[in-house]
Amino acid sequence: MKISSFPCMACIQPALLFCLVGLAQQPKPYHNTLPKDITVYHAAVVSANPLATAVGLRILKEGGNAVDAAIAVQLTLAVVYPEAGNIGGGGFTVIHLNSGKNYTIDYREEAPGKAYRDMFLDKQGNADPHLSQDGHLACGVPGTVAGLFAAYKFASLPFRELIEPAIHLARNGFAISAEEAKMLNDTRSDFLKLNTIRPVFVRHIPWKAGDTLIQKDLAHTLELIRDNGSAGFYGGETAKRIVKEMIRGGGMISSKDLLEYAVKWRNPLSFDYKKYVVLTMPLPSSGGIMLEQMLGMLSAYQVGKMGFETPQSVQLMTEIERRCYADRAKFLGDPDFVKVPVKTLVSPEYLRQRMLNYSPGKATPSKDIQAGKINPESEETTQVSVLDSSGNAVSLTYTLNGLYGSRVVVGGAGFLLNNEMDDFSAKPGSPNMFGLVGAEADAIAPHKRMLSSMTPTILLRKNHPFLIVGTPGGATIITSVFQSIVDLLDFHLSLFDAVNKPKFHEQWLPDLIYIEKGFPLQTRKALEKMGYRFKVREAIGRTEAIEVLPDGKIRAVADHRGDDSALGY
């Protein structure tokens, strides 16, 4: 991996010169560039925000490893990317160390101890999305800070150095982008309605690009974490503030919930696809197991020969996606609470059976597809991608769920809380905010973790990182990761195209293929003749990917769909 004989990338890419600074120097909050597609020699980092990416690069250059960089990027995103970066949410991290060892950390939020199965039903017994999505009751017990400290065991720099850039940006402010300004303005009335204390995200005049966002309360909370570790969040002043916020706003998280929260080290989900080992997240994310199902079903066909986004390949991949989402709705949930037939769901025979009613040239309506038949098993149960110069790799996805989560800012503590409770199935068959339906397996129970679609993934070739990939996008996460891998390995697209070409998405219900603008019209028309219905929607995902090229160089691509940026050296 290490290619130290090549010239320093700064000579080749002048836009990166500003990053050649020591850790003592603070991030430049008003000047940043937005490189989206770079080829470098040693290490790379891709994230949703240029300031966070720059912090990651600096950590890498100062001798930090991929885990150091990932932690610093996550903490910076919590400041500069408040709609999804967070300390009040949760997520999953997949780590490959150059020793050959792999780890996955589950720091998903969990239901508060007082949560109960029907807590989001109205008097008529219908699921009320406002209850599960807006405000205090929607908040799960946050996991991010515990996740950061769990990953820290593989880090090499003092934690203080990893958190300092975030504190600096929170205390002194940074210039917001046009996209951020628009989202803050669009969410203004929610912030006003759902908070008990007016947060800094609301001001008397609309935000515009270049305005400075200062978050002093958040800076203070980050200092408490810097000085007290995880206890600076789950105990002491911050925990008291969270509980007070819950009491003021009618939420459920208690000090006991916070004190008892712990990450879960899961066995990494690992399987082969072509010449690669795919390393990804097991349950309670549905992403890994569904990626294994999708690639497993696909490998029975020669999709590469069908061509990229032709009617044949899109039909095949759509029908695969449809069947996997039907399985998700019935079988998948937190494995510590429900028995999930994982072995069967990914077995070649089961996957073959699932495709028996696939008819090339003709749509299978979703009403004709149910979850597969399973015999009981005896036993079973906003993306950051980093690669360092020693071959350590991190792929992580963490979230507040919806845009700015519950939109509740903890009074005096300055951070947003998630609305992850909406990822539970409030009522069998009632769609969540991503249109996903679920059943008993994902019903609410105290301390249970809600099913996720987040799919942070690393592909290894001969036990060395080949691809580090992941994306946000709710239900579409799994299909985006699936398609990025297939685009690269079967259609031989460049990484740039695999990330940026229009994507499509089918999730069983509703019976529609969602497409992005730019999806080939001819393909759409051909599929409509076969009985498929389409809906054009906003961006599908924001994929951040790093690929190790055959000559050992590193290509890093940030999605063109947002302010995402890629840096490296």
Tokens in use for 357?
């009613």
C-beta of 238 vs 453, nearer to ligand DON: 453
Indicate which residue of 33, 76, 144, 381 is catalytic.
381
Residue 383 binds to ligand DON (criterion: CB under 6 A): no
C-beta of 282 vs 472, nearer to ligand DON: 472
Residues 6+ positions from 350 with CB-CB distance below 8 Å: 344, 372, 374
Tokens in use for 516?
């992005």
C-beta of 397 vs 565, nearer to ligand DON: 397
Amino acid at 105: I
Q: Are 333 and 441 in contact (CB under 8 A)?
A: yes
Q: How far apart are CA 387 and CA 60, in angstroms?
A: 9
Residues 6+ positions from 521 with CB-CB distance below 8 Å: none
Q: Which of 165, 405, 456, 474 binds ligand DON (CB under 6 A)?
A: 474
Residue nearest to ligand DON (CB): 452
Residue 495 binds to ligand DON (criterion: CB under 6 A): no
Q: Which of 47, 76, 215, 453 binds ligand DON (CB under 6 A)?
A: 453
Q: Residues 548, 551, 553, 557: is their CA dihedral positive or negative?
A: negative
C-beta of 25: minimal distance to ligand DON in Å?
A: 33
Q: Which of 215, 401, 480, 523 binds ligand DON (CB under 6 A)?
A: 401
Residue 473 binds to ligand DON (criterion: CB under 6 A): yes
Half-sphere exposure of 108 (CA within 13 A, CB side): 30
Residue 399 binds to ligand DON (criterion: CB under 6 A): yes
C-beta of 133: minimal distance to ligand DON in Å?
A: 11
Residue 93 binds to ligand DON (criterion: CB under 6 A): no
Chain centroid, CA 126 distance in Å: 29
C-beta of 60: minimal distance to ligand DON in Å?
A: 26
Residue 454 binds to ligand DON (criterion: CB under 6 A): yes
Torsion on CA atoms 8, 12, 15, 16, rounded to nearest 10: -10
Residue 74 binds to ligand DON (criterion: CB under 6 A): no
C-beta of 278 vs 454, nearer to ligand DON: 454
**Interface segment toward ligand DON; rule CB under 6 A; list 13-21, 97-105, 225-233, 473-481:** 473-481
Quick note: the x/- pattern for ligand DON over 343-382, rule CB under 6 A, is: ----------------------------------------
Q: Which of 143, 472, 562, 568 binds ligand DON (CB under 6 A)?
A: 472
C-beta of 89 vs 391, nearer to ligand DON: 89
- Other beta carbons within 10 angstroms of residue 446's beta carbon come to 15
C-beta of 311: minimal distance to ligand DON in Å?
A: 28
Residue 442 binds to ligand DON (criterion: CB under 6 A): no
C-beta of 96 vs 449, nearer to ligand DON: 449
Residues 6+ positions from 445 with CB-CB distance below 8 Å: 111, 115, 116, 117, 337
Q: How far apart are CA 185 and CA 187, in angstroms?
A: 5
Q: Which residues pair with 266 in a beta bridge?
A: 104
Q: How far apart are CA 297 and CA 289, in angstroms?
A: 12
User: Catalytic residue at 381?
Assistant: yes
Q: Are 478 and 455 in contact (CB under 8 A)?
A: yes
DSSP string, 229-265: TTHHHHSHHHHHHHHHHHHHHT----HHHHHH---EE
Exposed, middle or buried, 1 (CB in 10 Å: 0-12/13-18/19+)?
A: middle
Q: Which of 388, 423, 490, 547 binds ligand DON (CB under 6 A)?
A: 423
Residues 6+ positions from 157 with CB-CB distance below 8 Å: 59, 62, 63, 64, 68
**Interface segment toward ligand DON; rule CB under 6 A; list 14-22, 53-61, 384-392, 471-479:** 471-479
C-beta of 27 vs 474, nearer to ligand DON: 474
Q: How far apart are CA 166 and CA 310, in angstroms?
A: 45
Query: By the criterion CB under 6 A, which residues form the site for ligand DON?
Result: 399, 401, 420, 423, 452-454, 472-474, 477
Residues with catalytic roles: 381
